[in-house]
């Protein structure tokens, strides 16, 4: 069984569109994250979220918004997509008592 899953795996869209990436974890973890990996393989934290607190990296544009319908899901909504949003987006989760994060397989977003 996949611990952290993301859909879709690939997403190709036009500039200006709004899109969502879904993330689900079946590990019972308390905290979930979104990371962005650019073309140079730099990984940067975008958001962390548990059922009590959303922490936003201040460099993330407000066009990006995480939404958590329940503890097992943290979806990423992106409005008015721009060329620079093209990247691979990774979801991750962590148990409250541990430091190790479990990553999803990634979603490759291409904005044309």
Partner 1 sequence: SQQGEEDPQALSIQEGENATMNCSYKTSINNLQWYRQNSGRGLVHLILIRSNEREKHSGRLRVTLDTSKKSSSLLITASRAADTASYFCATDDGSGANNLFFGTGTRLTVIP
Which residue in 18, 27, 44, 82 binds partner 1 (CB under 8 A)? 44
Distances (CA, A) of 103 to 28, 70, 91, 110: 14, 18, 6, 20
CB of 17 to partner 1, least distance (A): 24
User: Which 58-87 positions form the footprint of partner 1 (CB under 8 A)?
Assistant: none
Which lies closer to partner 1 via its Cβ, residue 79 or residue 86?
86
Residue 110 in contact with partner 1, rule: CB under 8 A: no
- Residues sharing a CB contact under 8 Å with residue 85, sequence separation 6 or more, in sequence order: 78, 109, 111
Structural tokens at position 98: 């541990």
Q: Which two tokens stand for residue 50?
A: 């548990």
Rounded to a whole number of angstroms, the minimum distance from the CB of residue 97 to partner 1 is 11
Among 68, 73, 79, 102, binds partner 1 (CB under 8 A): 102
Q: Are 4 and 24 in contact (CB under 8 A)?
A: yes
By the rule CB under 8 A, 109 interacts with partner 1: no
Window of 17-25, 37-45, 62-70, 72-80 that interacts with partner 1 by CB under 8 A:
37-45
């Amino acid at each position: 069984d996949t611990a952290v899953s993301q859909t879709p795996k690939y997403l190709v869209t036009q500039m200006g569109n709004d899109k969502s990436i879904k993330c689900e974890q079946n590990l019972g973890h308390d905290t979930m994250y979104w990371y962005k990996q650019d073309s140079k393989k730099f990984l940067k934290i975008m958001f962390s979220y548990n059922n009590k607190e959303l922490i936003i990296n201040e460099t993330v544009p407000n066009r990006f918004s995480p939404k958590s319908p329940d503890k097992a899901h943290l979806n990423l909504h992106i409005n008015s997509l721009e060329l620079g949003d093209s990247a691979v987006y990774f979801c991750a989760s962590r148990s409250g008592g541990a430091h190790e994060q479990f990553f999803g397989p990634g979603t490759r977003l291409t904005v044309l």
